[in-house]
Structure 1
Amino acid sequence: MKTSIGAKLWLSFLAVLAILLVVGAASYLSTVKLTETAQWVSHTREVQGRLKDVLSALQDAETGQRGYIITGEDRYLEPYRSATGRIDGILRSLKELTADNPSQQRRLESIGPLMAEKLGELRETIALRQSKGFDAARQVVVTDKGKKAMDDIRNLVKDMEEQELELLKQREDDARTRTELAVLTIVGGILLAAALVVGAGVFLTRHIAQPLRAVTAVAERITAGNLSIDLVPGKREDEVGALMWAFVRMAKSLQGMAAVAERVAAGDLTAQIAPQSNEDVLGNALAAMIASLRKMTQEIGEGVTVLAASSSEIVASTTQVASSSAETATAVSQTMATVEEVKQTSQLAADKAKQVSETAQRTVEISKSGKKSVEESVESMHRIQEQMESIAESIVRLSEQGQAIGEIIATVNDLAEQSNLLAVNAAIEAAKAGDQGKGFAVVAQEVKSLAEQSKQATAQVRAILGDIQKATGGAVMATEQGNKAVEAGVRLSAEVGESIRVLAESIAEAARAATQIAVSAQQQLVGMDQAVLAIQNIREASTQNVASTKQTEAAAQNLHELGVRLKQLVARYRT
């Protein structure tokens, strides 16, 4: 079967390409699956986050309710109001995220009524605290109706979190399995492609490279002038076989031309050569050469007679050449002085260009150092920002603890007022008892005194706590301003880094341009050296020309003798 070299090469390349396409397709499918798995993992983590948000919102609502029930101040209801406003959005988000999971949807349907029951209990206790006071609200709280609903919600949320954790584990295992499969597919495909490439290389070497090496050896022998060949084309019908047959025919043609050339060298200009075709450049050129030699021998005979007359004219010309050579030597000396000055100028320019290039290189290094410093500054600003956020969190926790201390102080103040009231009642009872109640009256007076001291101490602690809360608020504001300043510093540092990067690129380009200028100046300097050397050679040549003109006269005398010998040589060739 006749198969061309191009077809063999294409078959080898297409086989390798097919393997690579299979590996690429497998890699692409694995990548798509990994992307889908990663999206599902992110989806699961988002569901977990929203479940935590549910419990966090309920805890915020309980915190606001408890603070209001204890203190009766509206500012404690802020967490409650914020939480009730978030809960509906969180539940809607959870329903959307778990729309593909019926079991999670059922749990959410169960959580809805429990959330309504818990929020209803919170609203009821807050309304009772507003209308009837602390005791009425406390009676509802101690029924544990809200606690039971909260426990049920926690259990449902826990079940949802456990299922999401199980789904997360399954999806992570799936991602790990797909990654291992993709790696095995790629490695196996690469090994198979490598084996195929090696096999194709061995096949092409045996069927193409080895025959071409044989043809190359024959071509080298022909180039060296050895026209004896031992190339056997065989039965190959592809391009290599055609090349071998072409070399055989070329060698036979060259052998025929060599035989004709030997007859011409022996003086036989009657030899004839038949070109292979109109495109046979060498054959046509050799035939034309033989015809030209015939015509040349005739013209040489005629030219010998003219040679004698030309000798006298040559002698006159040599005199003029001698005069021109002297003038040329003077002009060359002046030119050499000018070129030497230009060479010194080129040397100075090359030195300056080299200094500029070195300065540009140092500037590039400095710009790189500046860029690195800016990057370190950005990292430091990020660390400062993290520390500011940590400080803000600590201050918020301190504020919450201050609020708790305020609640304790309120309780102590209530106890002091009740103790004072008890002391007044005890004094009244002691007055009623007369002399027998005097000792009891003294105890009542001491209790009243202690209650007054407790009340005063409570007022002082409350004032100190107010100062602490004000300072905490100021610290929070300062922390926020510091955080904003740090963010602005990070942004400015990034802009500075970008500017330094652009500057570094511009300086690097200038450095390359300076280096090219230095190289060009050096090349010009080398050229000037060559020009000086050439002018020196011209000056020496001019000097030699003066001497040569003297020798030319003697050479003219020898032209006649040369004409005689030429006639003898022409007579040797048969035309």
Structure 2
Amino acid sequence: MRWTVGTKIATGFGIALVIFTIVGTVSYRSTDRLVETSDARQETYEVLGEVENLFSLLKDVEIGSRSYGLIGEESYLEPYLAAIGKVEPGMKQVRKLTQDNPRHQQRLDALEPLVRTRIEFAREVVELRRAKGADAIPFIRTGKGRALMDEIRKHIDQIRQDEEDLLKLRAQAAQAEAENAKTVIVAGTLSALAIALLVGFLITRDIARPLQRLTAVAERITVGDLAVKLPDDGRSDEVGALARAFGQMTRSLQAMAAAAEQIASGDLRTSVTPQSAEDVLGNAFARMTEDLRAQIQELVDGAMVLGASASEIVASTSQLAASASQSAAAVSETTTTVEEVRQTAQVASEKAKLVSEAAQKAAQVSQGGRKSAEGVVAGMNRIRQQMDAIAATMVRLSEQSQAIGQIIATVEDLAVQSNLLAVNAAIEAAKAGDHGKGFGVVAQEVKSLAAQSRQATNQVRAILGDIQKATGAAVMATDEGGKVVEAGTRQSELAGASIQTLANNVHEAAQAATQIAVSSQQQLVGVDQVGGAMDSIRQASIQNVASAKQLEGAARNLNELGQRLKQMVVRYQV
């Protein structure tokens, strides 16, 4: 059998896999038995629970019936009534859970008659108590019910004891299964690890060391060291095949390196034979050798032609350099003349721009004068309106002054009447004697007030007279002011029209100056463009001169290169 690397690795991992499979199978079987044991223990717990529940129901039946029989209250029957219907289903559930245990079935066969008898006795107690009342107490105290419960308890205790013993046995079995499973898993895992380590060591020694040697050879080849030899250990697996392939590759590279050294020494007569049609590097090297041989031959022929052509180019470029120098001198003179014209046009453009700016400022000033004249006219109109309003107010004030005069006359008449009334009151008070003294004092006060009213009326009349005189004078002055304002308004309108005409003329002059400035600017731009073009031509002429000189130098260099190229290709043997 041929042991390849894949066979060795597969065998090692197969052994470890078999061991892990055995361990897994044993672990699965142990786990399955543990699950079965756990289910059995759970069943035992259910049996114990149902037995306890059954015994608890029987005790409720006993306590409820006995309490009711002794006391006679219906409330004591509640435990009895709640448990009496659950006893039979409880017995069936216990028999169902223990149907795989013959001993329990036998005990249940003995227990069922006792349970029925105890239930019947409880019913007799309840019915007798209901029928005879307290006379049923001697029947209850016979002890029959207690004896039945003791017998029932004995059977239930036997069932409970058997289940607890069975629970202990199952727990011990589960513990033993767990210990066995643990031992098998630990031992199997350690064995598998030991075998895996052993197989890994053998495989590493059999595969890694040869691969390390091949890696060292590959690293030497990577840095360009082809003076390597691979020992042939006679292996027939993949590592041996890889070593033989490395040896063949090394020999091919050594052959190509020898051919490259021969080509580097100038001998192009060598030839490279590819190892196969798929040998990309060999085929490329062979094509490179053939192509290089053909290119060198063409290069030799081209060098001959290049030498002759370079001599002719040197002569032509010398003439071109002389012509370019003459053209550059003429362009330089033309550029100087265009620059002078450009400066003259720039000065004219600046003057035109100043004139345009002055005209614009004059237009702005005339526009401001027009607006001021319009403002003066509007102000005079507002003054005239105010004067009209003042005149109207003065007229109303004169009318009100006359109304106040009428009121003053009325107040004066009232004062006279009050004085007469005071005199009459004083006369009547004197007639009344002592009884009219108070009335006389009032009459005296009224007389005093009448005198004060007359005096105040006289003062108001004097002030009103002054106001009427001042109002008349103000009315006359307002009338005269309105006439003057109207004349000023007409003069302002005439001045505004004149300023408007002046503003229109100045605006037309500003537009003309602006057009002149724009034309001058356009002329300056055109001259600048001509100057730029001439400057570009001058720069191009200078560059042409430099290019011609460079071309002359390049031609001379090309001539020298052709000569050196002839000397270089002579050493190749084609």
2:501 is aligned to none
1:261-288 CA distances to partner (integer Å, 9 max, x unpaired)? 1111111111112111111122111111
Answer whether contact 2:230 2:247 (CA < 8 A) is retained. Answer: yes
1:431-477 CA distances to partner (integer Å, 9 max, x unpaired)? xxxxxxxxxxxxxxxxxxxxxxxxxxxxxxxxxxxxxxxxxxxxxxx
- Aligned partners of 1:32, 1:240: CA distance in 2, in Å? 47
1:80 is aligned to 80
1:156 is aligned to 155
- Aligned partners of 1:178, 1:233: CA distance in 2, in Å? 57
- Matches for 1:48-447 after TM superposition, within 5 Å: 48-136=48-136, 138-304=137-303, 305=305, 308=310
- Aligned partners of 2:97, 2:313: CA distance in 1, in Å? 112
Q: What's the secondary structure of 2:570's corresponding residue? A: helix
- Matches for 1:452-491 after TM superposition, within 5 Å: none
Q: What's the secondary structure of 1:80's corresponding residue? A: helix
Q: Quote how far apart the aligned CAs of 1:183 are.
A: 0.7
Answer whether contact 2:51 2:156 (CA < 8 A) is retained. Answer: yes
Greater Cα shift, 250-259 or 127-136: 250-259
Q: Quote how far apart the aligned CAs of 1:153 are.
A: 0.5
Answer whether contact 2:63 2:80 (CA < 8 A) is retained. Answer: yes
- Aligned partners of 1:58, 1:557: CA distance in 2, in Å? 133
The code of the aligned residue for 2:215 comes to T
Q: Quote how far apart the aligned CAs of 1:564 are.
A: 2.2
Q: Quote how far apart the aligned CAs of 1:24 are.
A: 0.8
Q: Quote how far apart the aligned CAs of 1:249 are.
A: 1.8
1:524 is aligned to none
Answer whether contact 2:273 2:282 (CA < 8 A) is retained. Answer: yes
Answer whether contact 1:260 1:273 (CA < 8 A) is retained. Answer: yes
1:413-437 CA distances to partner (integer Å, 9 max, x unpaired)? xxxxxxxxxxxxxxxxxxxxxxxxx
2:444 is aligned to none
CA change 1:44–1:557 in 2 (3 A) is farther
Answer whether contact 1:26 1:182 (CA < 8 A) is retained. Answer: yes
2:396 is aligned to none
1:29-55 CA distances to partner (integer Å, 9 max, x unpaired)? 111000000000111111111111111
Q: Quote how far apart the aligned CAs of 1:573 are.
A: 1.0
Q: Quote how far apart the aligned CAs of 1:303 are.
A: 4.6
Q: Quote how far apart the aligned CAs of 1:135 are.
A: 2.1
2:46 is aligned to 46
Q: Quote how far apart the aligned CAs of 1:170 are.
A: 0.2
- Aligned partners of 1:560, 1:70: CA distance in 2, in Å? 147
Bigger Rg, which one: 2
- Aligned partners of 1:110, 1:566: CA distance in 2, in Å? 129
- Aligned partners of 1:297, 1:310: CA distance in 2, in Å? 24
The code of the aligned residue for 2:167 comes to L
- Aligned partners of 1:555, 1:219: CA distance in 2, in Å? 49
1:126-151 CA distances to partner (integer Å, 9 max, x unpaired)? 00001111222x12211111111100
The code of the aligned residue for 1:291 comes to E
Q: Quote how far apart the aligned CAs of 1:556 are.
A: 6.7
Greater Cα shift, 191-200 or 277-286: 277-286
Q: Quote how far apart the aligned CAs of 1:557 are.
A: 5.3
- Aligned partners of 1:557, 1:157: CA distance in 2, in Å? 130
Q: What's the secondary structure of 2:281's corresponding residue? A: helix
Greater Cα shift, 302-311 or 281-290: 302-311
- Aligned partners of 1:59, 1:115: CA distance in 2, in Å? 11
1:15 is aligned to 15
Q: What's the secondary structure of 1:572's corresponding residue? A: coil
Q: Quote how far apart the aligned CAs of 1:96 are.
A: 0.7
- Matches for 1:563-574 after TM superposition, within 5 Å: 563-574=562-573
- Aligned partners of 1:278, 1:34: CA distance in 2, in Å? 69
The code of the aligned residue for 2:48 comes to Q
Identity score, percent: 43
- Aligned partners of 1:163, 1:234: CA distance in 2, in Å? 76
- Aligned partners of 1:99, 1:310: CA distance in 2, in Å? 124
Answer whether contact 1:227 1:254 (CA < 8 A) is retained. Answer: yes
The code of the aligned residue for 1:132 comes to K
Does structure 1 residue 28 correspond to structure 2 residue 28? yes
Q: Quote how far apart the aligned CAs of 1:310 are.
A: 9.7
1:345 is aligned to none
Q: Quote how far apart the aligned CAs of 1:77 are.
A: 1.6
CA change 1:139–1:552 in 2 (3 A) is farther
1:429 is aligned to none
Answer whether contact 2:57 2:86 (CA < 8 A) is retained. Answer: yes
Answer whether contact 1:44 1:164 (CA < 8 A) is retained. Answer: yes
- Aligned partners of 1:310, 1:59: CA distance in 2, in Å? 136
The code of the aligned residue for 2:166 comes to L
Q: Quote how far apart the aligned CAs of 1:76 are.
A: 2.5
Q: What's the secondary structure of 2:227's corresponding residue? A: coil
- Aligned partners of 1:216, 1:565: CA distance in 2, in Å? 47
- Aligned partners of 1:170, 1:310: CA distance in 2, in Å? 119
- Aligned partners of 1:86, 1:236: CA distance in 2, in Å? 86
The code of the aligned residue for 2:9 comes to L
- Aligned partners of 1:131, 1:310: CA distance in 2, in Å? 154
1:331-367 CA distances to partner (integer Å, 9 max, x unpaired)? xxxxxxxxxxxxxxxxxxxxxxxxxxxxxxxxxxxxx
- Aligned partners of 1:33, 1:52: CA distance in 2, in Å? 28
Answer whether contact 1:117 1:146 (CA < 8 A) is retained. Answer: no
Greater Cα shift, 214-223 or 14-23: 214-223
1:494-547 CA distances to partner (integer Å, 9 max, x unpaired)? xxxxxxxxxxxxxxxxxxxxxxxxxxxxxxxxxxxxxxxxxxxxxxxxxxxx9x
Answer whether contact 1:267 1:574 (CA < 8 A) is retained. Answer: yes
Q: With structure 2 as the length reference, what TM-score do the two structures score?
A: 0.56
- Aligned partners of 2:200, 2:160: CA distance in 1, in Å? 59
1:473-500 CA distances to partner (integer Å, 9 max, x unpaired)? xxxxxxxxxxxxxxxxxxxxxxxxxxxx
Alpha-carbon RMSD across the aligned residues, in angstroms, is 2.6
The code of the aligned residue for 1:23 comes to V
1:223-252 CA distances to partner (integer Å, 9 max, x unpaired)? 222222232122211111111112222222
- Aligned partners of 1:50, 1:145: CA distance in 2, in Å? 26
CA change 1:92–1:557 in 2 (3 A) is farther
CA change 1:269–1:115 in 2 (3 A) is same
